[in-house]
Structure 1
C-alpha cells in the first residue's frame, strides 16, 4: 500500500519541463517511475578510482623504549604504501569539470574517472579543501560531456523528493530515492567537520561519497558526503554539501585559485537559547550572539560589537556559527553581504565586506635549524591569518604559535597550535624572541603556553 501511495506522489513527469510539481494524471505516468529522470541525470555521475602513495616505516619492538630509542634513529627506511580509494563524482560542465569529496581524491597521486558509457579519463585536482570535504577535478581531453545544472540550494525545502546517485560499495552506479529530511545541519550534527548540510533519507553508503543528490527536475542540489551509522551502512541519515557551496568552489577554481578562500569573520559566537534570549529581551531564541571580536575584524569596522546578535545574512536565517560561516562563504569573496544586527531590540541591516584575513602584523614564520635548540620547531606570530587557519588559537590573541613542534619539540611536550606566551619568565611577542630566548635559556626551559583554552607551564631540559 505504501509503495502505491509513494509512487502516486513521486512520479512527477511534468517537472522535467516545469519546476511546478503535480500529481500524475494517468496510469501511464504512474508506471513511468523515476526512469526518465534517471536517464537524464545518471550519465553525469561518474565513478572515481584514486590512488594514494604514502610512506610507511617498519618499527622495531625496541623503538618505543627510551633507552634504545636513539640507537634506532634512521633504522627503518620508509617504504611506499599504495592506498586505493573508491568514490563518485558529478560532471558540472561539458568540458570536464567534476566535483567530488576531498576524502576521495584530495590526497590522490593518480585519479581515474569512468563515465556510465565506460569512457575513462585521467583527472587532476585543481582546487581542494579538507574542511569543506570538496574537491574540483579537471578531466584531461574531455569535451561535450553530459553535466548536471546547479540549483539554488537555498530554495530546497524539507519534504522534497530526491535521488542519490553514486557507486556504493563499488557495485556499480546505483540510484536510491528519498526526501529531504532536514536543512541547515551543522558539522556537529553530521558527525564532525566544518560544514552545513542537507539531510536526506535516500540510501547513501560507502562509495556514494562525491555522488549527486538531485531533485525531480534533475538539478544538483547537493554532493553526498557522509552518513551517521553505527554499522557503516545506510541508516537513513545521510548528508550532502549544498550546491551553493559547490558553485563557489567552481567559481574560485575558474579564477585560478590554488587554495579555497573563505571570508574572514574575525569573531566567535554562540547560538541563542531560551535563557539567553530572555536575558537579551528577545521574544524568540533566534540568531547568533557575538561573544568575541577581533579589532581587525571587518565586522568591528562595520560597527558590530560584542553582545550584538546576528539573525540573518542576505535574507537567510542563521542560528549558529557554522551557518554564518556557510552564508559568508557562498556570498563570495570580494562581495558585500547584508547582515541583520539586533542591538537593544532594534534590527539594523549592515553591509560587511567579504575579505580574507589580513597578514598584519606579518606572521614571519621561523623554522629552527640543526644548529639551534629544538631543531625542526616552526613558530609564527599570531595574527588574523594564523587565527583563521588554526581553530585552537584563541581570538583575539598575541604571542607566538607553534606551527610544527618538530621531533625534539614534540618530545619536550609541544604541540601544533600551542601559543607561547613566555619563556623563562620573559614575554614572547615575535618568532625571533623564541629563537633568542631558547639560545639564552641554558639547560632548563620553562614555557608559559595557552593550549585549547587552558594555561599551561611546560618545563623540560635541553
Structure 2
C-alpha cells in the first residue's frame, strides 16, 4: 500500500504546478513585435531551379549545330604481315593482313583540309573520310607530327564544306563550358558537354616528353580521337586526343591538344612539309616546396633553369643556370608544361620576352628561338641530333649522329643517351636527315633495323630492332 502513496503525491504536485503556471501566464501582457527575438536557424528553400549557377542565356544547341557537320569519321586501313616462318620473322615477310582502325577528324577549311590525330592515321595504307551526311571520300595524308600527335588530311569534295574556325586557346579559362564532338565506338556525330578542368596538363612529367593538354570532363571515348573540342560559340579550342583510365573508357578525364598548337603544326606542314619547332635551349624543372629547398630558392612556382644548351638562344640572351622563368611573352609560367605549350606555338627566329628571377631580383630578357636540330625515330623510340666535330674526334669516328634521349620506357633503363650512331643497316649515317630517310625506307619495306653505335668509352656495338 505504501508503494502507491509516493507516485500519487508526485502526480498531484505536478498537476498543481501546471495550473499555477497557466494562471500566471494568462495574467501577463502579450509581447510586442519589437520585443520578440528569434534565434532559430534560417529556413533554406530546397526547391530545384534548372538554371542555378548557369547564365540564363547559356545554350549548347547553336555550338552543336555549328560543329557537328564539320566533324568527320576517319577510317584507317593498315596492312601488316604475319610471319609464317623463321625466314619471314627475320626478313620481314609473311602473309598480308588488313587491320581497320577508326577515329575522328575536324574540317578546318571549305576546300577539305581536315585535322586529326597522328595515332588515328599512323601506318595507314588507305584512308577514308565519312561526312555527317554519310558521304565517303578517299583522304590524302598531307603530313603529321608524332610529337604533338597532330595529322593533316585532305579530301576533294564537289562543294564547299562546313568547317570549324579556330579560337585562341590561350584565352581558354578553367571552368568554362566546352563541347566534345566525335565518333566514339563508331557512334557518329556524338556531342558531349563539360567544363575545362585544367590547362597545360602534362600526363607524365618524368617521361622526357613534355606535354601541354587542355583537360576537360566532357565524355571522350575510343573513336573520339581527332575530334573537336569547341567553346559555346562553336569555335575550335582543341583536338581531343587522350583519356586516362584504368578501364580504357572514360572515367571523368579527357585531354585535348590546344588549338594554337594544332594550328601552328598544320600551317608548318602546309608551308614547309614538316614542323618548324623553335627551341629555347634549356633544361628545366618544376618548382615546389621540396625542390625550392633543394635548389636554394624561395619561389615555388615557375620553371627552374637547370642547364643551358651551348649555342642556344638562351645562352646568347644571357640566361643562366639557377634562373627562374615566370613569364613568357606576357603570359604567366607556373610550371614546365606552361612553357612547353607556349613554345609549341612558336617558330625558329621568333623573338620572345622572358621575365625571370635571378637571386630574388626580377629581370627581363629577349631570346631568339633557334631551330631544333633533332629527329625522333618513332620505330626505335629515340631522338637523334647532329653532333659536333669535337665529339666525333673524341670517339675516333668520321661521322655519326647522337642519341639525344630515349622516348620508350623499355629503352630508358639502358641509358642510350649520348651514344653515337654511325651506321644503320651497315650504311654510314652522317646527319639526321640521312638517318630519317633511311629509317623511313626500312619502315616502308617492314625490314629489321640494325643500329651500329660507339659509346662514350669508344666501344662499338650493334642493336637490331624488329
TM-score by length of 2: 0.71
Alignment coverage as a number of residue pairs: 377
- Quick one: higher RCO (CA 8 Å, sep 6+), 1 or 2? 2
Question: Where do 1:115-264 residues align within 5 Å?
Answer: 115-141=131-157, 143-188=159-204, 194-255=210-271, 257-264=272-279
Q: Which moved more, 1:41-50 or 1:284-293?
A: 284-293
- Check if 1:361 corresponds to 2:356: no
Match of residue 79 from structure 2: 53
Q: Which consecutive unaligned segments of at least 5 residues does structure 2 have?
A: 1-44, 374-385, 393-398, 427-448
Displacement of 1:45: 0.7
Distance of 1:83 and 1:362 partners within structure 2: 46
**Match of residue 456 from structure 2:** 421
Deviation at residue 263 of structure 1 after TM alignment: 1.6
Q: 1:101 to 1:73 in 2, by over 3 A?
A: closer
How big is each residue's C-alpha offset from its partner over 1:215-271, in whole Å with a ceiling of 9 and x where there is no partner? 11111111100111111211010001101101101221231x222232233321111
1:91 corresponds to 2:107: yes
Residue of structure 2 equivalent to 1:343: 358
User: 1:337 and 1:267 mapped to 2: Cα distance?
Assistant: 14
Q: Deviations over 1:165-223 (max 9, x none)?
A: 10000022211111111111013179996421111111100000000111111111111
* Contact 2:200 2:337 survives alignment (8 Å): no
Instruction: Tell me, in whole angstroms, the C-alpha distance in 2 between the residues paired with 1:400 and 1:389.
Output: 13
Q: Distance in 1 between matches of 2:88 and 2:140?
A: 39
Alignment partners' CA distance in 2, 1:315 and 1:417: 46
Residue ranges of structure 1 left out of the alignment (5+ in a row): 11-21, 25-29, 61-70, 366-378, 407-413, 424-445, 450-457
Alignment CA distance shift 1:44-1:348 (3 Å): same
Given the alignment, which residue of 385, 389, 404 partners 1:387? 404
Larger Rg: 2
What pairs up with 1:264-413 in 2 under 5 angstroms? Answer: 264-278=279-293, 282-358=297-373, 359=386, 361=388, 380-382=400-402, 387=404, 400-401=420-421
Which stretch shows the higher mean deviation, 308-317 or 414-423? 414-423
Shift in CA distance, 243/191, structure 1 to aligned 2, threshold 3 Å: farther
Distance change in 2, residues 1:45/1:344 (3 Å): same
Deviation sequence 1:48-68 (CA, Å, 0-9, x none): 1111122332356xxxxxxxx
Aligned CA distance change for structure 1 residues 390 and 193 (closer, same or farther; 3 Å)? closer
What's the TM-score, normalizing by structure 1? 0.71
C-alpha contact 2:63 2:232 (8 A) present in aligned 1 = yes
- Counterpart in 2 of 1:104? 120
* Distance of aligned partners of 1:354 and 1:280 in 2 relative to their CA distance in 1, 3 Å threshold: same
